[in-house]
Amino acid sequence: MDIINSLFTSLFGISVVFAVLASLILLIYGQTLVMKKMHPAKAADPAETKMAPSPAATAPVAAPAPAYPGKLELIGTDEKTAAMIMAIVCDESGIPANELIFKSIREIA
């Protein structure tokens, strides 16, 4: 096998990897669609219903500050404290961090 053939093999090889993984992407999207149709309420936001915030996190949930997806708003709280609160909520509730949504953390005292 000469170098040109090796290059073609490489091109084909990376294409196969992309093709297999791209087909998995389609299947995951398909699976998600099916799940949403089967359990619309459940698929919408199971984490929020599961979330059992600690007293420290209760206040912002009761009186939510303006928040938008993907951003955690810190009101009167430094990042270190916020990270600690999030870790405590995860630990106490037994819910993995990737399944919890924190919208804002506000200092109440």
Partner 1 sequence: MLIDTLGKLWGDSGFAALDVRHSIMIVVALVLIYLAIVKKFEPLLLLPIAFGMLLANLPITGLMDGPADGSPGGLLYYLYQGVKLGIYPSLIFLGIGAMTDFGPLIARPSSLLLGAAAQFGIYVAFTVARMLGFTVQEAASIGIIGGADGPTAIFLTTRLAPELLPAIAIAAYSYMALIPLIQPPIMRALTTEKERQTVMSQLRPVTKTEKIVFPIIVTIVSVLLLPSVAPLIGMLMLGNLFRESGVVDRISQTAQNELINIVTIFLGVTVGATANADRFLQLETLKIIALGLFAFIFSTIGGTLIGKLMYVVTGGKVNPLIGSAGVSAVPMAARVSQVEGQRANPKNYLLMHAMGPNVAGVIGSAVAAGFLLAMFG
DSSP three-state, residue 80: helix
Q: Smaller CB distance to partner 1: residue 55 or 66?
A: 66
CB 94 within 8 A of CB 64: no
**Least distance (Å) between residue 24 CB and partner 1:** 6
Contact in structure between 67 and 104 (CB atoms under 8 Å): yes
Other beta carbons within 10 Å of 30: 10
Minimum CB distance to partner 1, residue 107 (Å): 18
Instruction: State which H helix or E strand residue 74 sits in.
Output: strand 73-75
The least CB distance from residue 87 to partner 1, in Å, is 12
User: Which of 40, 66, 94, 96 forms a contact with partner 1 (CB under 8 A)?
Assistant: 96
Q: What is the size of the binding site for partner 1 (CB under 8 A)?
A: 40
Contact 51, 96 (CB under 8 A): no
Instruction: Quote the crossing angle between the two packed helices 55-62 and 79-93, to the nearest 10°.
Output: 100
User: Counting contacts by CB under 8 A, is residue 76 touching partner 1?
Assistant: no
Considering only 33, 63, 101, 108, the residue that binds partner 1 (CB under 8 A) is 101
Binding site for partner 1 (CB under 8 A): 1, 3, 6-7, 9-11, 13-14, 16-25, 27-29, 31-32, 35, 39, 42-43, 45-47, 69-71, 79, 96-99, 101
